[in-house]
Amino acid sequence: MTAATETNKFNAGWRSGRGERFGGVDKGLSDWLGLLIQLCLCRFFAGLLVLLQSSSYVTRADHDSRPNFVLMMVDDLGIGDIGCYGNDTISTPNIDGLAADGVRLTQHLAAAPLCTPSRTAFMTGRYALRAGLGSTGRVQVILFLAGSGGLLPNETTFAKLLQKQGYTTGIVGKWHLGVNCESRNDHCHHPNNHGFDFFYGLPFTNFNDCKPGAGKGVLVDVQETLWQISVLLTLASLTLLAARASGLLRVSWTLVAFLAAMSLLSFAAWFVPFELLRTWNCIIMRNGEVVEQPLKLETLNMINNHVIYVVRHKDGPFLLFLSLAHVHTPLFVSEGFTGKSKHGLYGDNVEEVDWMVGKMMETIARLGLSEKTMMYFTSDHGGHIEEGPKGGWNGIYRGGKAMGGWEGGIRVPGIFRWPGRLNPGREVAEPTSLMDVFPTVVKLAGGALPEDRYNTSESIFKVHFFTPNFSPAGAVGCYHTGVCMCHRPFVTYHNPPLVFELSRDPSESRPLSPDTEPRLAEVLERVKRAVTEHRRTLAPVEKQLTWTKVLWKPWLQPCCGTFPFCSCEESNHTSAAAE
């Protein structure tokens, strides 16, 4: 039995197709390892492009033109929320039709279980760690639109490479990879600086603070602490002032003034960045201009703009990245989908997503572009199970959003459709990754791949060096904190790491042991060597998720109007052009 054949028995375990899946350990390795969730071994594997172009999946390989690309990504969608992946109560006929007409991936993996690092990896074809956007600290995503962290200007995205091949490139929807570095208008992290000719959407993300009455979503514990400090300092200064006025205590005016000043500062530190979050973070931009502040997501402007983009660039070649703000909380739908599903507002969200996918397919067909366009559908990571009925369902897979390497947080839908090129109704069981889209799109567009993607593996084991501590005990989720944290004291380290065989244990309930798998020691030794090799390839990069990078900076705040009185509203129309 060959080594490759033997390792195939760890099909859970064993994943072929990518070379950068790592985990973090407690001792001997730096903190960055904690975010990465796979271990790579062995030889180069050609990946998704080979799978899609093999004779099993392609009907005609002698195509005479480069395709257009429509890449559709949903936010926080669980793999169990879609009909073609097993859901029989939420209606998704258009997504199911996309799969029936194309190729469905059954082991499609996000590079991280959170928005910012997953989208970084998707855009660049390599782990977010290499772009400075991987973290195991308190902050793992961009928290403020007016922070200075984000996707560095020197990063290579697939959009930049397609621009060089003559493609018109656009993104409609969510970005969440930063905007500015040093001034309000430098736009160093902006989509227009990363290969996209056109941008319309959320430069940040949709989160609870964007919807009045939906609660708070950013650093809730910090907000509460600042508020409590402000209240205590105010009470202390008022008490001392009353004591001095009544003659009970001889208190200096300096002390009273100092406490009052500190009270005002702590109140400002709470009120300005946090209580005004809806104004600061929740905006819509068209290219570099703020056109709506705060945003109103119930309108149809997103769908209007992505349809207009395709119509205007129908002569191609074009790339459209439709990055939906659905189904991230707070949930929102347009009027026609309210109460439509059997699963409340979350089900309404999923069904509106399906309608938007159908609208995109209809537009492509109406323009006669179906056989000239590769369409792709996925989610950035698994569903947010701590949200209960407002969060997604990850099917049989354990865990979800923000839960490290548990399968429920990283296994996502993956559907490709290209009529006349891909055989309809096929399935790909081989493991694939969101990062595989980068080389697939670039090669099909006729571009050359960068030499620093480090895709050097064939056999891959997924191991858990640490796992989140679920709370309350017995739950599968971190309900006390809203999402699982990735640092002490919120995790348990495993030495040796946990290894599962997903082919027989897809819910990851029975870790392998020397008794159940005699070759486990050999596997872990190869894992150790793979980690060492991975560390050797890392180059220094400026970290983008430090506190100094992510905290709100007023001089970086995008604003329509005169700061701090930022306010503008865009009408629900179809005349706005995607130039």
Among candidate residues 8, 4, 2, the one with its CA nearest the CA of residue 502:
8
Find out whether 566 and 293 touch, Cβ atoms under 8 Å: yes
The residues near 227 (Cβ < 8 Å, ≥ 6 apart) are 270
- Cα separation of 243 and 238, whole Å? 9
Q: Is 9 helix (H, G, I), strand (E, B) or coil?
A: coil
Neighbours of 256 (CB within 10 A): 18
> 71 near 320, Cβ under 8 Å?
yes
Tokens standing for 57?
């999946």
CB 534 within 8 A of CB 540: no
Beta bridge partners of 493: 466
Q: Which tokens belong to 37?
A: 């969730």
Cα separation, 518 vs 503, whole angstroms: 17
Catalytic residue flag (residue 115): yes
Q: How far is CA 209 from CA 202, 213, 214, 273, 570, in A?
A: 14, 8, 7, 12, 20
Let me know: does 16 contact 429? Beta carbons within 8 Å: no
377 strand-pairing partners? 72, 415
Q: Is the dihedral of CA 36, 39, 45, 50 positive or negative?
A: negative
176 is catalytic: yes
Q: How many CB atoms lie within 10 A of CB 89?
A: 11
Contact 94, 358 (CB under 8 A): yes
40, 108, 115, 486: which one is catalytic? 115
Task: Please identify every residue annotated as catalytic.
Answer: 115, 176
